[in-house]
Amino acid sequence: MAYLLHIETATTNCSVALSENGNLLHCIENNEADFRHSDHLHCFINQLLDQASIKPFQLSGVSVSKGPGSYTGLRIGVSSAKGLCYAHSIPLISINSLEVLAAAYTPETSDLLIPMFDARRMEVFTMVLNTKKEVIYPTRAEIITSDSFKEVRNQGRLVLFGNGSNKCKGIIPEENTYFVDSLKEPSAQHMVVIATDKFGAKQFEDIAYFEPFYLKDFYTNPRKS
């Protein structure tokens, strides 16, 4: 039996899931703008394991959403995952947070998937994937203009989703563009298939040196003198 714990904290959604041999067993999550991951993540993990009558030492590995996303959220999620892996000598698996979001969408023929997270002002963190959810254009920070994603517009229908996608409305040409308004935040339950494949292929991170994929430096408001 391979039990994997999945941790997703890249956005406001604090989400944990447990899978057994690639099958989702349980998922606990809470998505509120002022929700503090640091206060609740470990409680969620304990609740999840209790529901399945699983002890931490019985886990075969932990997958974590590595970013991009919220600096603080990623730091908390990755620290928790590394701590569990170190304490129980189990492997750490990392997954791009945008790919976790894209895993929730079932594409139609010729769709180009463009998940995106809000990154302040008119900027988003984004990537482009094909219908097989293979990466066409890797993760980048994009300032939204009328020319955004121009390089792929003739390759299929652009499917935009995530909490940054509203920035594109009224700016990106509407022709051959589809917004999935119901899909805003990634969830740990959509990490199961990706993490199981990586576990089988032994695609593990070095626990000692692994860091979140922040993509941009942490921004703080300047102090007022």
* pLDDT tens digits, 5-39: 999 999 999 999 999 999 999 999 999 877 789 88
Q: How many CB atoms lie within 10 A of CB 11?
A: 26
Determine the number of helices (DSSP H) and then strands (DSSP E) in the chain: 4, 10
Question: How confident is the model at residue 33, as a pLDDT?
Answer: 73
The tens digit of pLDDT for each residue in 38-94 reads 889 999 999 999 999 999 999 999 999 999 999 999 999 999 999 999 999 999 999
- The span from the CA of 49 to the CA of 183, in Å, is 27
| Residues 97-114, mean pLDDT to the nearest whole number | 96
Domains annotated on the chain, with CATH: 3-98+186-200 (3.30.420.40), 105-179 (3.30.420)
The tens digit of pLDDT for each residue in 153-181 reads 999 999 999 999 999 999 999 999 999 99
Question: How confident is the model at residue 217, as a pLDDT?
Answer: 60
Q: Are strands 157-161 and 177-179 parallel, antiparallel or unpaired?
A: parallel
Packing angle between helix 37-51 and helix 71-88, nearest 10 degrees?
Answer: 40
CB 90 within 8 A of CB 60: yes
